[in-house]
Structure 1
Amino acid sequence: MTGILAARPLPARSKAFDLLLAGGLTMFFGFLSLAQEHWTGVLGLGMLVPLVWRRSRPELVFFGVAAVAVLQWLGGANLMAGNVGLLVALYTISVYGEIRYSRIALGIGGLGVLMATSRYWSTSDWRQQVTMMVALGALVFGVWAFGERRRTRGLYVAQLEERAAQLERDRDREAALAVSNERTRIAREIHDVVAHGLSIMIVQADGGLYAADASPEQAKKALATIGDTGRASLTEMRKMLGLLKQDTQPDLDPNQPRPQPGVSSLPELIDNVRDAGLTVAYEVRGEPRNLPALLGLTAYRIVQEGLTNTLKHAGPGARTSVTLDYGHEMLTVVVTDDGRGAAVAPSTDPGHGLVGMRQRASISGGTVNAGPKAGGGYEVVARLPYNLPGGQQ
């Protein structure tokens, strides 16, 4: 196995450099070795030619070159110019090889220093021996230490690159999640607006159809309500579709849709439902307070969805009540009716109906409970804390 840096595929430029380096060292130091040691100088070539594969096979090259150096010593040859290949191989394994093999290579280099200097014990003064040993030892250790420093720096750069790549992947995932959440939110808004508006329009159209012959005035009133509801729904739709435009200029359009509705818009919503023929009682308990925009919109949409479900499922003659209870820590929203809606299976389409109400409440840190009442009818209870998660306002 090779080290982390060697594990990367070598570019063609690096391979060409290694080929030129090995060729140049072989041409210069190899022929010097042949001129110095004659036939044993061939071993110098054996320590230089393998450098062509020094980065792709750093351990194999080093141990191969070291084996040739041992043959040189056993053959009685002196130090030659080709021994520079051993230093290049030591540097390469300290940079690109595994750390354990790099340590072993340093030990082999130190042993090589002792073996090289022992060749001259009988022909030189002890001071010269010590000087030669220290010089060769410093050279070997310096080459190895320089390679280790290069390895450490390379690993640090590799870690930075990996961290940057991970941050980029995290950013892409967060962007994709944000897009998905925004699509879900827009789909929920469109459902609330369209379902509520169409429910009122259908009820009014049916009522106007039955009253067309017996009571033309009632039919006209139903048609007027249909028109008003359609225009209000279109206004809401323009507002939501405007969020998708990147070049929106709200100050330039006098017909720009109004801000998102909140609890202050509930009386108007309830009046529209009453015009559709549904009896609705509205009550506010506790001391009203200014709510964050998200919380107010959530309460409004929950009431809107509850009234829409009542229009669709409660049946004729059903009575409905809407209650806002401003408690100490949370706003409680209750929408209840005495119709037959409990017998109708709720929608299971994700992001719509009751599921959509629960999603809205969850975003605001609250909960929604919906189900049949004891004695008949249906009830939706939402509990929305004033302090939104994450400190949202």
Structure 2
Amino acid sequence: MLVHRRFYAWIQANPGKVDFWLAVAATLIFALPFLLMRGGQFVEFVLSAAICMALAWRRRRPVAGAAIQAAACILQLFLVPVTALPADFFALVAVYSLAAFAPRWASVGGLILASVGGVLFIVQYSVIPFMETGYQLKTALEQDAPVWVALEAGLLVAWMFGDLTRTRRLALQALQDRARRLEVERQQERELAAADERSHIAREMHDIVAHSLSVIITQADGARYASAEDPAVAPKTLGVIAETGRGSLREMRRLLGVLRGDEAASTRPLPSLADVEELLGTVKRSGLETALSITGTPRRPLPPGAELTAYRVVQESLTNVLKHAGPEASAEVTLQWTPAGLKLGVLDNGLGAASALHDDGEGQGIKGMDERLSLYDGTLKAAPAAGGGFRVEAFIPYTEA
């Protein structure tokens, strides 16, 4: 970084220190010489020092600093009646500081007070001395008119520059506040997105692991007893277990690829309604008799996410049948296309009312299905069927453009 830029950055970061040392420098230049003069002009030194040192508060406490300067200038009219003080120049700085850093009432009030003070200044140090030398009041006023106009114009220009600085400062502050708010909002959005993604991944993990393990456990238990009478059952059962495990492993790798940011993994196709028959085939091989019924014609395709949701509902429902419906159970899956959307049903003939516990131990299965469906304005009903068994009914409406 260049030296002047570093210096400018330091000034912007330390305005209080800058004002203090400028006030000290002004005191040394405009006040200290009065004290060093022969005989020492103590009153002039004190008044000049007050005017100069008040500059140290021109940004942090502009009203207090301007009040000190105004008090010193008023006392000057009475205590130093002959000559003005060089430090009076800083009245322009006071007007600028009030316009730039003080409230609006103090800004306007400071300009009016400085204008009146300018008139008194000219009267005290110019008009009265002219009249004492024999000039008439009219002549003295005419002689001092250009000075008065120049002084008032200088005060007005200082106030205008201060007001422009104030406007720029407030605009910059508003932009900074807006940037901070946007950053906070972005952070909140990132946190919400991360929480939503964690929930989505948790649902996917549950669907994949719960279904696959249910099939594997069912096959393993069945093979353990069946192989005692027919050893030929074991190879077939182990083949189903291996196939189910490999499918689950592929799905897990896809999810882990998404977490790692692996584009090749994240772009692989997700399950859809077209994969329901394959899902039922896997379930049949695990020993659960299933039937699929599809009626109606879709008015238009569902979004890919909605089809994935429908697939997961079927998968979760069949997994619950495997886990809870008991032996010799069967299930029927129905997909009915209506003008409003897709009606989906899974009915088993298992344990009936006891199957109200169709869920994993922590209630994540039905809860996960309901959360998935709510994303697409869908509904879910899961309860024991009247004639025995357990029924899951879901509805996914078409997404209107």
When normalised by structure 1's length, the TM-score is 0.86
User: Partners of 1:201 and 1:274 in 2: how far apart?
Assistant: 13
Q: Is the 8 A contact 2:52 2:87 kept in 1?
A: yes
Preserved CA contact (<8 Å) 1:196 1:305: yes
Structure-1 separation of matches of 2:190 and 2:346: 36
After superposition, residues 15-30 of structure 1 pair within 5 angstroms as 15-30=16-31
Q: Specify which of 88, 94, 103 is matched with residue 99 of structure 2.
A: 94
Q: How far has the Cα of 1:348 moved from its partner?
A: 8.2
Tell whether 2:292 aligns with 1:282. yes
Residue deviations 1:94-136 (CA, integer Å, cap 9, x gap): 2222232222222221221232233244435332343333222
Give the paired residue count.
374
**Which one has more relative contact order, counting CA pairs under 8 Å at least 6 apart?**
1
Counterpart-to-counterpart distance in 2, 1:163 and 1:302: 44
The equivalences for 1:90-129 within 5 A come to 90-119=95-124, 120-122=126-128, 123=131, 124-129=139-144
Match of 1:61 in 2: 65
Structure-to-structure mapping, 1:154-169, within 5 angstroms? 154-169=169-184
Distance 1:341 1:355 in 2: 20
Matched residues in 2 for 1:257 and 1:214: separation? 47
Matching residue within 40, 65, 81 for 2:86: 81
What amino acid is the match of 2:77?
A: W
CA distance in 1, matches of 2:282, 2:307: 19
1:150 and 1:62 map into 2 onto residues whose CA distance is 18
The correspondence for 2:395, drawn from 380, 383, 391, is 383
* More off after superposition, 183-192 vs 345-354: 345-354
Cross-structure match for 2:374: 362
- Percent identical pairs in the alignment equals 38
**Contact 2:324 / 2:358 at 8 angstroms: preserved in 1?**
no
Deviation at 1:78, TM superposition (A): 4.2
* Structure 1 residue 166 displacement after superposition: 1.7
| 1:41 matched to 2:44 | yes
TM-aligned CA distance change 1:202 to 1:236, over 3 Å:
same
CA 226–341 in structure 1, closer or farther in 2 if over 3 Å, else same: farther
- Counterpart of 2:154 in structure 1 is 139
Q: Give distance in 2, aligned partners of 1:341 and 1:298.
A: 25
Q: Match for residue 273 of structure 1? A: 283
* Counterpart residue number, 1:194: 209
Q: Which of 187, 210, 224 is the aligned partner of 1:209?
A: 224
TM-score normalized by structure 2?
0.85
Deviation of the 1:247 alpha carbon:
4.6
Please give the secondary structure, in 2, of the residue aligned with 1:325. strand
| Correspondence 1:374 to 2:386 | yes
Contact 1:351-1:359 at 8 Å conserved across structures: no
Q: Which amino acid aligns with 1:67?
A: A
